[in-house]
Amino acid sequence: MSIQNCKIIKLPKIQDSRGNLTFIENNSHIPFSIERVYYLYDVPGGESRASHAHKSLHQLFIALSGSFDIVLKDGFRSKKFSLNRSYVGLYVPPMIWRTLVNFSSGSVCLVLASKKYDENDYYRNWIDYLSDVRTK
């Protein structure tokens, strides 16, 4: 996969004087079915999260509260995305290295994933990832 396959997805936003509502439907708003949902919160200032890639997992990252940056690398290029709206998500397909940085105080990162947790799907070592991605 290439970094060009990563994209910002605007989610439906229904505005109402009582508050806004955003929803996500499988294979409709995002290009995969959701098998797992998790969120990151209380990340101390200066800390980063992730720093890995997945072999076959698709993900959508959403800043439910606050803001953070996601640095993506495909073995050849890198690109930084800033997330700070709860109705916008970043789609990351398999074989893209991701690192989450610059968490604001009180930020919450929601992650929708195409598969359940599987340790065998991870590249946790940059050199191993780079070796595999550059030989494919």
Q: How many CB atoms lie within 10 A of CB 8?
A: 11
CA distance 88 to 42: 21
Among the listed residues 29, 52, 54, 58, the single catalytic one is 52
Tokens at residue 51, please? Answer: 């720093």
- Per-residue DSSP letter, 5: G
**52: annotated active-site residue:** yes
- Per-residue DSSP letter, 21: B
Tokens at residue 19, please? Answer: 């508050």
In contact, 62 and 100? CB cutoff 8 Å: no
Q: Which amino acid is at 118?
A: D
- Distance set, CA 65 to CA 16, 122, 135 (Å): 19, 27, 39
Tell me the catalytic residues: 52
